Amino acid sequence: MNYKLIVGVSIVLGGMFGQCSSGKNAVKYTPVESNQGGVKPKWVTNRPTDPAYYIGIAVASKTTTPTTYATVAQGNALNELASSIEVRVKSNSMLFSFEEQNAYRDEFKEFVQVKTNQDIENYELVATWENDYEYWVYYRLSKEQFEKDKNAKISKAIDMSVSVLAQAEQEFSQGQYRMAMIHYFDALKPVKPYLGESLKATLNGSKEVYLGNYLFTQMAQGTRAFNISSSSSKIIGKWGGMVRNDELTFLVQDLEGKPISQIPVKFAYSEGIIRPREGVSSSSGKVFTEIKKLGNTNSLQEVKAEIDFQEMILGNVRPDEIDKIIFERISNVSSKINIEVVAPRLLVQVNTGNASKQSKEVLKTGFESASGNQGFLIADVKKNADLLVSMESISRNAGESYGLKNVLLNVSLKIVESESGKMVYQDQISNLKGVGNSVSEATAQAYEKAKEQIEKKIVPRFYRKYIH
């Protein structure tokens, strides 16, 4: 019967050890003790050590797991055996080249430990012991046999990797850069469980390399075959305005300047979310994004486009820890467009009907002063304006009270884009009362109150809505 140990750092083993599978590597059953009850054997009370073997011993409660205690004990013992296999990262391995501050990242240690412990064969069941409450099991694995099995697997993995690597290098030489990058990563797959080893290999019958490091170097150099450039290094944007996709267009090309299609690109915007966040280059190599609204008044903003090698190579497959560090370290192929963001210019126009010119100036200067405090610029003529502000005011006599004249004032306000005529904001002031000894005095008071509302309420509301 052939048993393979499939374990991980946190994997709980089930009933697999009670099943048989075909194969030439047999698990040896040479129990030195297998009995029930009585005095606990020495290996239960005093854990044995043997420099020639990895050892795994475990116990399961018959009370807690009355139907599965044997399987539980076997799984725990084999997990313990596997965890005792020390993984040493060799100095000319890929993982050694990932060393940071003289310490390997914990996730790398865990990754290589899991990979090394997979498919362990030729372990031996040495003994079992049980009483009414406990079931004990004792496994061991010859260190010499383990190394022999591992070396055979490494040799086979290297052969498979070299074969795929040859395909990748041929594709790269033919200018098929995207497929070459995919196959460089495919060449890594067979040797991933052994990236802590030297992996010495011979390429093209004569060139000797350490395969893990060589693959990483080829991947890093392969990214240099890709270039992404922007349609313009700098553009001008206005507060609250849109940046069109024809302004945020990028071009993906190869070493010879030829456009490359089907290359995934991810976008980042200095001020937050951008849509779309990713794209794929067209047959002309172009890919683009856009900003629906410049909702931040920072004067210098940027959009960055970066070739997404992870998406290009793995697609929807989740990267493991080795993949993650490779993608972190291979060169950042990116480009950016700076956006100089300026305040829009406002042209304020007021129609006060039969009211005095002074009343008109009260509303106009009130809006201009308040919007200027918010950072907006004021245009002198329509052709220089980005936004047109129009106010219509109507006042009417509302009679007298206590010998004083009353006036009610209504003001409507609209703001549109100068070029498109699109409405961007509208507001109104209704039945604002002015009181005075005369109608003109009451009217003047009403306009002053309207000015105060424009400065303190209407303009701040407009700013918030327009920007955000």
SS (H, E, C) 338-397: EEEEECCEEEEEEECCCCCHHHHHHHHHHHHHHHHHHCCEECCCHHHCCEEEEEEEEEEE
| pLDDT for residue 107 is more than 80 | no
The Cα 333–Cα 380 span in angstroms is: 46
CA distances from 340 to 20, 136, 234, 300, 337 (A): 70, 73, 7, 5, 10
Contacts of 263 (CB under 8 A, 6+ apart): 178, 226, 252, 280, 281, 285, 287, 307, 312
First to last CA, the chain: 70
Higher pLDDT, 151 or 3: 151
Mean pLDDT to the nearest integer, 216-236: 95
Please tell me the predicted confidence (pLDDT) of residue 26.
Answer: 41
Q: Is 429 exposed, middle or buried (0-12, 13-18, 19+ CB in 10 A)?
A: buried
CB 442 within 8 Å of CB 422: no
Contacts of 24 (CB under 8 A, 6+ apart): 2
**Mean pLDDT, the chain, integer:** 88
Domains delineated in the chain: 15-142 (no CATH), 149-224 (1.20.58), 226-342 (2.60.40.10), 345-467 (3.30.160.180)
Please tell me the predicted confidence (pLDDT) of residue 465.
Answer: 93
Contacts of 44 (CB under 8 A, 6+ apart): 57, 59, 129, 136
Please tell me the predicted confidence (pLDDT) of residue 250.
Answer: 98
| pLDDT for residue 466 is more than 80 | yes
pLDDT band at 109 (very low <50, low <70, confident <90, very high): low
Residue with tokens 């009403």: 446
Using DSSP's 3-state secondary structure scheme, residue 36 falls into strand
User: How far from the centroid of its chain's Cα atoms is residue 196's Cα?
Assistant: 27
Note the pLDDT tens digit of each residue in 152-211: 999 999 999 999 999 999 999 999 999 999 999 999 999 998 888 999 999 988 899 999
DSSP string across 230-259: ES-SEEEEETT--B-TTTSEEEEE-TTS-B
| pLDDT for residue 298 is more than 50 | yes
Note the pLDDT tens digit of each residue in 234-246: 999 999 999 999 9
DSSP string across 133-194: SEEEEEEEEEHHHHHHHHHHHHHHHHHHHHHHHHHHHHHHHTT-HHHHHHHHHHHHGGGGGG
Mean pLDDT to the nearest integer, 275-297: 95
Mean pLDDT to the nearest integer, 213-242: 94
Q: pTM here?
A: 0.77
The Cα 319–Cα 175 span in angstroms is: 26
> Looking at residue 9, what DSSP letter applies?
T
| pLDDT for residue 1 is more than 70 | no
Please tell me the predicted confidence (pLDDT) of residue 166.
Answer: 96
Q: Which two tokens stand for residue 332?
A: 């950042």
pLDDT band at 121 (very low <50, low <70, confident <90, very high): confident
State the CB neighbour count (10 A cutoff) for residue 455: 17
Please tell me the predicted confidence (pLDDT) of residue 118.
Answer: 63
State the CB neighbour count (10 A cutoff) for residue 415: 22
Q: Which two tokens stand for residue 23?
A: 């194969």
> Residue type at 50?
D
CA angle 193, 198, 203 (to 5 degrees): 100
DSSP string across 182-229: HHHHHHHGGGGGGTTS--EEEETTTEEEEHHHHHHHHHHHHGGG-EEE
- From 50-54, 83-87, 241-245, 356-360, the region with the lowest mean pLDDT: 83-87
pLDDT-above-70 percentage for the chain: 88
pLDDT band at 4 (very low <50, low <70, confident <90, very high): very low
CB 136 within 8 Å of CB 57: yes
Please tell me the predicted confidence (pLDDT) of residue 86.
Answer: 78
Residue with tokens 């890929």: 94
Closest by CA position to 418, among listed 382, 447, 450: 382
Residue with tokens 């990895």: 54
CB 174 within 8 Å of CB 159: no
Please tell me the predicted confidence (pLDDT) of residue 104.
Answer: 56
Note the pLDDT tens digit of each residue in 77-93: 998 998 888 777 888 88
Dihedral (CA of 415, 421, 424, 430) sign: positive
Burial readout 104-135 (b: 16 or more C-beta within 10 A, e: otherwise)? bbeebbbbbbbbbbeebbbbbbbbbbbeeebb
State the CB neighbour count (10 A cutoff) for residue 363: 24
Please tell me the predicted confidence (pLDDT) of residue 10.
Answer: 28
CB 350 within 8 Å of CB 437: no
Residues in the chain: 468
Residue with tokens 């991947």: 219
Mean pLDDT to the nearest integer, 412-433: 96
CB 162 within 8 Å of CB 191: no
Mode of pairing for the β-strands spanning 207-210 and 234-238: unpaired
Higher pLDDT, 464 or 114: 464
